[in-house]
Amino acid sequence: MALVLHAGKNNKNAVKALIAAQYCDVEVKLAENFEMGVTNKSPEFLKMNPIGKVPVLETPEGPVFESNAIARYVTRIKADNPLFGSTLIDYGHIEQWTDFAAMEIDVNISKWLYPRLGYGVHLPLAEEHAIASLKRALDALNTHLASNTYLVGHSVSLADIVMTCNLYLGFSQIMTKSFTSEFPHVERYFWTMVNQPNFKKILGEVKQAESVPPVASKKPAAQPKETKPKAKNEPKKEPKKEVEKPAKAEAAEEEEAPKPKPKNPLDLLPPSKMILDEWKRLYSNTKTNFREVAIKGILVVSVIVLSSQ
């Protein structure tokens, strides 16, 4: 039974397994009539991957999802596969560069590209950070490739397949020649890999992006207003004469005059004979025996005022 890969034909995550299958002489075929956004939301697909992401590999033992896991599964079908290296340290380095390709290359290319295509919010500061992080990763890769033809050893490994497929998204969609020229060893490596027969059979002719995609506009296009054709010989409508309102109706429409505010009961009291400034001076100048002088002073004044009223 052939392995069935559920994904679109040009999905860069799906081609990892397809290229690995070419090197391993394993039969992997794409699912027929796969339609992104429809097939991956069907109940049958969700049984294989509950979150509906692609690719998914259908095997006799059950489904496998996550693209790097699928590529590893296909590679391990063949015993003693050179794609995994010949020593334990080779295997460790292959895993190292596979993770580097995912976390440093693929992530930052995606953060730069997808918001520009409308798959997310485009934030200039976030884009600058993604480009800076990508350049940092490419600089590290460029340094390694300055003295190495392949990532590990002297032949193609699974790390080269994963790295090239992740670089393929950038080279073909957003990384122009003026951008990649800063990393000549990465350029040499990429074009060497995509022109290998097993890569070329899956990817076809690869062309580098000529420009950075513009930021997708989210504003809907303005629709032209519909104009109704004027009917010929249509009689003119006479303006309606305003009916005079009776005086009582006009009076009712007018705003009511504001009612006078009720008087405060305290305003009815006679003016106070207490001189507040004198007590303030007494209060401020009292340094000792405060209770007997200042407080008693206001009580005496209050009694005098009340008794005079």
CA 13 to chain centre: 21
The one-letter amino acid code at 140 reads: A
- pLDDT tens, position by position, 209-249: 999 999 988 655 555 555 555 555 555 555 555 555 554 54
Average pLDDT over residues 255-270: 66
Name the 3-class secondary structure at 5: strand
Residue 72 host element (H or E): helix 67-76
- pLDDT tens, position by position, 17-76: 999 999 999 999 999 999 999 999 999 999 999 999 999 999 999 999 999 999 999 999
Can you count the helices (H) and strands (E) in the chain? 14, 4
- pLDDT tens, position by position, 71-122: 999 999 988 899 999 999 999 999 999 999 999 999 999 999 999 999 999 9
pLDDT of residue 122: 95
pLDDT for 205 beyond 80: yes
And the tokens for 56?
């998914």
Question: Which pTM was predicted?
Answer: 0.70
Domains of the chain by range and CATH? 1-81 (3.40.30.10), 82-213 (1.20.1050.10), 276-302 (no CATH)
- Closest C-alpha to 20, from 158, 115, 116, 128: 158
